[in-house]
Chain A
Amino acid sequence: MDRAALERHFDGVLAAHGPALSRLAGSYTNTPSDRDDLLQEIAIAIWQALPRFRGDCSERTFLFRIAHNRGIAYLARSRSQMPGLAEEIEVHDPAPDPESELAQEQSTARLRRAIHRLPVAYRQVVTLTLEGLGYGEIAEVLGISESNVGVRLSRARQILRESLEDRR
């Protein structure tokens, strides 16, 4: 693939998966600027890895694997596994009609905070599940067995449910 084709492919990949990658980056970071920094790192890593993609797995699996590897590297670097500033977590961009979406925003914000408080191993499984990946794909991304994915997801959901109930 020549450079121009690679650039087009890269732009297309970021346009199609950018929002999901941004949400995944957000699950590893505490502030919008940290999220953007991590997203930048992920984009660079994707750019470097894209020429080596041979279609052994789906493109989405390939991208999320890179994103999670960068996320783990980021956590190891920043040693910030416990989110300290929940109020700084950016929930999402402002909607055109904020009033009508207030209730939705609040429950979304609660869910995001609850996910952010999960241990990393559970957080990864939950975020990938919520991005629409199946057990097999999650297992490929994280390098664990499908049964392990099931166990982690089940525990994560239990914790999330309790966390969301407590804060109602």
Chain B
Amino acid sequence: MNLDAELDVWRRQWQSGTTIPLDLRKRVERRSRWMKIGLIADILVTVVMGGGSTVWALRSWQPDTVLLSAAIWLFLAAAWTIVFTFSRGSWSPSAVDTAAFVDLSIRRCRGTLAAIRFAAGLFLCEIAFSLGWIHHYSPEGRKPIWTWLFFSSLRIDIIWLATLAFFGFLIWYRRSQRAELAYLVNLGQSVGTD
């Protein structure tokens, strides 16, 4: 083996022991933890909302509760579709190196941004259905629609407040994800990915 070839072999071996920057590794691990927590939360919501509404519908066996239960299951199915679609391939890096970790983080960010858009649409559908359902089946619904919609009862007020809080959170989260994506794309260019 000539001297340069020997050095080349050593160089490849030396550099094959690539370690991932601590900050990036922690970022990916933190996100993985949150994804698992999110999955558990989704399962809990499915069990509580889906199961609860089903039990209620079976006990009362009234058209309103049956409709509510069916709609809840429909929304849950839509929510799970979003979860599966946008988290596919985002659970673990394709390799244990810096480029793969950056690539995974970028995919997660893009998936989250797309999921935020769909979540906002789904939430609007849920709110529309909830308001329609309450208006149709509760005595409060006999008031004129515009009077009823705004500040006619505590339940409606809570729905509006929840909507405001949810969209406030979505806007903030979207902004933070976009900033993170910009940072990661920049990082990706530094390490030669994306």
**Which A residues fall within an 8 A CB radius of B?**
8, 11-12, 14-16, 18-20, 22-23, 26, 36, 39-40, 91-96, 104, 107-108, 111-112, 115, 127, 129-132, 157, 160-161
CA distance A31 to B96 in the complex (A): 20
17 A-B pairs with CB atoms under 8 Å apart are: A12-B187, A14-B21, A18-B24, A19-B18, A19-B20, A40-B22, A92-B16, A92-B19, A93-B17, A93-B96, A96-B95, A108-B17, A112-B17, A127-B14, A130-B11, A157-B3, A161-B6
Which of B15, B17, B186 contacts A91, CB < 8 Å? B17
Dominant SS among interface residues on chain A: helix
Determine the distance from Cα of A53 to Cα of B15 in the docked complex, in whole angstroms: 26
What is the chain A residue whose CB lies nearest that of B94?
A96
Q: Number of residue pairs across A and B with beta carbons under 8 Å?
A: 88
Are B187 and A22 in contact, CB atoms less than 8 angstroms apart?
A: no
Q: Which residues of B contact A95 (CB under 8 A)?
A: 95-96
Interface size range on B against A: 20 to 34
Whether A15 lies near B98 (C-beta < 8 A) is yes
Q: Which of B1-57 contact A (CB under 8 A)?
A: 3, 6-7, 10-11, 13-24
Report the 8 A-B pairs with minimum CB-CB distance, sorted nearest first: A92-B17, A18-B21, A130-B14, A22-B19, A108-B13, A16-B190, A12-B190, A15-B190
Interchain nearest-CB distance for A3 vs B (Å): 15
Find out whether the CB atom of B98 lies under 8 angstroms from the CB atom of A19: yes
Quick one: which of B16, B19, B187 contacts A15, CB cutoff 8 A?
Answer: B187
List which B161-183 residues lie within 8 A (CB) of chain A: 183
Does B104 reach chain A (CB closer than 8 Å)? Answer: no
Q: Is the CB of A107 within 8 A of B13?
A: yes
What chain A residues lie within 8 Å of B17 (beta carbons)?
Answer: 23, 26, 91-93, 108, 112
- Does chain A have a CB within 8 A of B78? no
Interface centre among A11, A36, A40, A160 (most CB of B within 10 A): A11
**Distance between Cα atoms of A91 and B11 in the complex (Å):** 14
Shortest Cβ gap from B98 to chain A (Å) = 6
Distance from B8 Cβ to chain A, minimum over Cβ atoms (Å): 10
Tell me the complex Cα distance, A112–B94, Å.
26
Contact A93–B16 (Cβ < 8 Å): no
Q: How far is the CB of B17 from chain A (nearest CB, A)?
A: 3
B13 cross-chain contacts in A, Cβ below 8 A: 104, 107-108, 111
Q: B109 interface residue, CB < 8 Å from A?
A: no
CA distance A83 to B114 in the complex (A): 51
Decide if B106 is an interface residue (CB 8 Å cutoff).
Answer: no
User: Is B158's beta carbon under 8 Å from chain A?
Assistant: no
CA distance A12 to B188 in the complex (A): 9
The answer to whether A15 touches B21 (Cβ under 8 A) is yes
| Extra pairs beyond A19-B98, A132-B11 (7, CB < 8 Å) | A15-B21, A15-B187, A93-B96, A95-B95, A96-B94, A96-B96, A127-B14
Q: Determine the residue in chain A with the shortest Cβ distance to B23.
A: A14
> Across the interface, which residues of A come within 8 angstroms of B186, CB to CB?
8, 11-12
Please tell me if B191 contacts chain A, counting CB pairs below 8 Å.
yes
Q: A15-B98, A107-B13, A130-B14 are in contact. Are A93 and B187 (CB under 8 A)?
A: no
- For A91, what are the chain B residues with a Cβ–Cβ distance below 8 Å? 17
Tell me the minimal C-beta distance from A109 to chain B in angstroms.
9
Q: Once bound together, how far apart are the Cα atoms of A107 and B186, in whole Å?
A: 35
With CB as the reference atom, state the residue of chain B lying closest to A153: B7
